[in-house]
Amino acid sequence: MTDHSASEPSDFRAAVFHGPQHPFELCRFPRPELLSGEAIVQVECCTLCGSDLHTVAARRFGVTPTILGHEILGVVEQVSETPPVDLQGVPLAEGDRITWSICVSCGQCDRCRGGLPQKCRQLSKYGHDAAHGRGALSGGLADAILLRANSAVVRVPRELPDEVACPANCATATVMAAFHAIGPVEGMRVLVVGAGLLGLTATAVAKSRGAESTTVWDPIPERLRLAERFGADRTAVASHFDIVLDFSGSTEAIEKALEVADVGARIVLVGSVMSSDDLRLNPEQVVRQCWQIHGIHNYTPADLLDAVEFLRKHHQTYPFAELVSATFSLAQIDRAFQFANDHRPVRIAIRPWIDEP
């Protein structure tokens, strides 16, 4: 095991979530002893995903107590004697700037072998597990996390600002999984429903991959203006679409979108991650229109690699960095969630150490 110097902390702070209606509790957790393939990663920045907001607002349920936050950018602080390797097979070292998949999968079970590691039978997810025992430090709302063995790690190029890189392992990678499901979009008429971070990212991906037109639906005018800056066509006249991507999770919006799906359309549902109303869908229509309908939840390690590469290539073309509209410290976590609820920004960021020595 690598010796860590006396100046390194023996414990780490984390904002523990005890359930909706409870304030966060700033707790200290001991530095875990590292097992083979593990590392301690200092959290540089963690953006709050919609699912974190839903959990805190009781629209979504998970185990408690827990340390939320999974859109994490970190720097390796300590590695075990057998260090973890990144997805290219290169061992991690102290100082490496990294992101990693939300999902830790076994790699052995039928689902892992069948191409759905995000549905592994022994799945665990950063920012979702119970804050107990030596694996307690698994969420980004903390000074550091324990990087677990078999995590899918990607090195993040220095040129990518923290705010751009943070959502790579959630929003961006999930969008990559959606495009993976639908295949090439060149020359296609694309409809994106919902202009949050996933919808905006999908708009940029469709544009950069040569879609004929990209139309964005969202009830909020500011979001539509933002969508134009991510490549949405202001004057898209297409009345039918070859590709429909839903990130809104609104049954009503999905039904409207299906009305304009053309023959042979590929339809991807991504946004419906909370309980929702049933969808009215006529099977004859699916058959006669030859529709392909995909459900996408999370992503594979290959999608995460694609996500970082997409951001590296295009972060200067599309204003990803502007989507983080406020930054808070760990000690300000209750205020941060309040701000996110009141103002509904695309993203806010938590930097554990701002305002603190």
Residues lying near Zn ion in the complex (CB under 5 A) are found at 49, 51, 105-106, 109, 112, 120, 170
Q: C-beta of 121: minimal distance to Zn ion in Å?
A: 5
Nearer residue to Zn ion within complex by CB, 154 or 265: 154
Nearer residue to Zn ion within complex by CB, 188 or 296: 296
Q: C-beta of 7: minimal distance to Zn ion in Å?
A: 34
- Beta-carbon contacts of 327 under 8 Å, excluding residues fewer than 6 positions away, are 348, 349, 350, 351, 354
Buried-state track 100-122, b at ≥16 Cβ within 10 A, e below 16: bbbbbbeeebebbeeeebbbbee
Q: C-beta of 253: minimal distance to Zn ion in Å?
A: 20
Q: C-beta of 143: minimal distance to Zn ion in Å?
A: 21
The alpha carbon of residue 152 and the mean position of all alpha carbons in its chain are separated, in whole angstroms, by: 14
Nearer residue to Zn ion within complex by CB, 52 or 262: 52
- Tokens at residue 188, please? 């296609």
User: What are the backbone angles phi and psi of residue 9, rounded to the nearest 5°?
Assistant: -70, 150
CB 79 within 8 A of CB 39: yes
Q: C-beta of 124: minimal distance to Zn ion in Å?
A: 11
Query: Which alpha helices (H) appear in the chain, and where do they start and end?
Result: 50-56, 110-113, 162-165, 171-182, 197-208, 221-229, 251-259, 283-288, 301-314, 333-343
Q: C-beta of 212: minimal distance to Zn ion in Å?
A: 30
CB 51 within 8 A of CB 60: yes
Nearer residue to Zn ion within complex by CB, 30 or 115: 115
CA dist., res. 226 & res. 320, Å (int): 10
Nearer residue to Zn ion within complex by CB, 54 or 351: 54
Scan for tokens 């301690």, then name that residue: 40
Nearer residue to Zn ion within complex by CB, 78 or 105: 105
Q: C-beta of 107: minimal distance to Zn ion in Å?
A: 6
Nearer residue to Zn ion within complex by CB, 101 or 214: 101
CA dist., res. 338 & res. 53, Å (int): 10
